Amino acid sequence: MTIRTKAILVAALLAPLAAAQGGRASVYKVDFNIRDTGDAGAKTGRKYSLIVDERQKGVFKIGNRVPMATGGGAGNMQFTYVDVGVNIECFVAEGDSKINLRTDMDLSTAVMPEKNPTPNPTISQIKLNVETMLTPGKPSVVASFDDPVTSRKFDLEATVTKL
């Protein structure tokens, strides 16, 4: 086998590896800012950030697990636990000049009953499912919503930055 033949064979064997390295997924920082538009003192809002690989799901959960009685009797009570707080799942994919952001966000709180014979709390929940195209590095309001419990209005702002 000649040196030229060996070089061609090695190049043919390494070509898929080189293509895979060249097509490596990008990494993004996704920033979310939830702002109460009716509260002049809270202009900065609540901020949450994730680092996400392109075409991979990023998950962010912060809050508590609240027990809910589901059955049984005295001494044998059974519980199911509900996640309350801020739960974010997002997916990022690069487009031509924009970034596709798909986000599922769940904002919830548990309110314990005052004089209710049932020990279970009431769960107040806002769910958002957003799919949008964003300019990289530019903050954009991707959703506005009213809290049905407090009648306050909120904006969800997202910024996606390629790292």
Is residue 7 in a domain?
no
Is residue 93 in a domain?
yes
Is residue 20 in a domain?
no
CB atoms within 10 A of CB 119: 12
What gap in Å lies between CA 106 and CA 123, rounded to an integer? 12
**3-28 burial: b if 16+ Cβ within 10 Å, else e:** eeeeeeeeeeeeeeeeeeeeeeeeeb
Instruction: With cut-offs at 50, 70 and 90, classify the pLDDT of residue 41.
Output: low
Is residue 13 in a domain?
no
Is residue 82 in a domain?
yes
Up-side HSE of residue 98: CA atoms within 13 Å toward CB? 10
pLDDT tens digits, residue range 47-73? 999 999 998 899 999 999 988 888 777
3-state secondary structure of 83: strand
pLDDT confidence of residue 37:
80
Domain that residue 111 falls in? 25-162
> In total, how many domains does the chain have?
1
Instruction: With cut-offs at 50, 70 and 90, classify the pLDDT of residue 110.
Output: confident
Is residue 137 in a domain?
yes
pLDDT tens digits, residue range 119-143? 788 888 889 999 999 999 999 999 9
Mean pLDDT of the chain: 82
pLDDT confidence of residue 17:
45
- Here the tokens at position 20 are 């895979």
Is residue 2 in a domain?
no
Is residue 138 in a domain?
yes
